[in-house]
Copies of this chain bind each other. A is one copy, B any other.
Amino acid sequence: MAAGRRAANAQGDQSTGSPSIPDARRMPARARPVTMKDVAAATGVSRSTVSRILNDAPLTVPVSAATRTRVLAAARELEYRPNPLARALRGAPTMLLGAIVRDITDPFFAGAIETVSVAARARGYNVVLGHAHGEATKAHELAALLEAGHCDAILMMGDMSDQPRLLEDLRDTHIPVVALWQGSELRSIPAVNVDNQAGVTATMAHLVELGHRRIAFIGGRLLGDIQERQQAYAEAMASIGAEVLTGYIQRVDNTAADGEAALAAVMALPVPPTAVVAATDVLAIGILRGAYRSAISVPADLSVVGFDDIAWAATTVPALTTVRMPTAEMATAAVNLAILLAGEPAGEVPAAEHVQVFRPEIVVRESTAPPAATPGTVR
């Protein structure tokens, strides 16, 4: 459909504009865009002919090689560029994907956006950013995207269940929505999720194998993924018969500073843990820093594990043991799903069968080790 575009661009240069004027080039001087009518006029043919030629109209309607070249030439000459708005109005896809993120500030999502963007680009799509930062804007964000965004489909990144209206509104819009990292809460919406339970279970197994039993959990608001991770922690503790002492579960915001504070709280407990499982790498990084400030040596005195394997996890001091999220794979899956759905005739969506779950993997680095022999314990 959108073929033969290269050609048009390629030569456009040499044609227009005055030749000389070496350095002090003229100012931008934005001009009215060249329309198809201009090309038609310049060639002496009708707009439809131009359209046919420029769109490489299939075999249905043949055009004389003569006019074809003439038109093509003129198009280049004038640097004609099809107006995407007009095309979209006619029903063509906008090639725009909306991405609603609960909080772009969250490093995990910052990385995720990048991944989504790459995946989208691979399919010829661009990404329009929207953030439902805090609950402040509520569903308005969505409205904005839908109204100004011109998107073919929307990706909801992260759990938005604290903004019920958003999901409601989303369900019956005329463009498809897919949820990414929303937490596997059962919802009638196509989704791509990660198996949080598997991740945490692996983490716990790793720690137990090292000899830890006093393991604390530092997590955030009980939403989506975080919620599932905490639950998996509790289950794992139960299954090894370890007691979750009071204070062993800390609930804070997902920031490094909060992670640091939570660590302080946990270490001030009568029986401090020998290992801490953080619900996210961001928290873990804060914990690492908190340990440093309190002169707690990691991993000698305390083991720390994160979740997500964000880019920074490998560069911390010490490098963070964490659970690798297959971010790229998941983003790609979500993008593909969204595009697929966008292609389906409205209403033909099979169902919430469109749910994919990915398995994370633990990656052991430097922040975990056997617990220090506690006083009174035979080594």
Contact = CB atoms under 8 A, between A and B. Distances in A.
Contacts of A257: 315
A126 B110 contact: no
Contacts of A5: 169
Interface stretch (A64-72, A83-91, A232-240): A83-91
A378 interface: no
A72 B220 CA distance: 43
Given A25-B171, A28-B347, A288-B317, 20 more contacts: A27-B350, A27-B351, A28-B172, A28-B177, A28-B349, A29-B346, A32-B346, A81-B146, A85-B89, A85-B150, A96-B148, A96-B149, A110-B113, A110-B114, A126-B149, A150-B150, A256-B315, A257-B315, A289-B317, A312-B312
A221 to B, nearest CB: 20
B150 A94 contact: yes
Given A172-B28, A316-B317, A347-B29, A104 B114 contact: yes
A281 to B, nearest CB: 11
A357 interface: no
Given A172-B28, A289-B317, A2 B143 contact: yes
Given A289-B315, A316-B289, A147 B9 contact: no
Number of copies: 2
Given A88-B85, A172-B17, A30 B349 contact: yes
A337 to B, nearest CB: 14
Contacts of A265: none
Given A27-B188, A85-B88, A107 B171 contact: no
Most buried by B among A113, A150, A169, A316: A150
Interface stretch (A42-50, A127-135, A193-201, A209-217): A127-135
A226 B25 CA distance: 27
Q: Which 5 A-B pairs have the closest CB atoms?
A: A30-B346, A104-B114, A95-B148, A256-B315, A292-B317
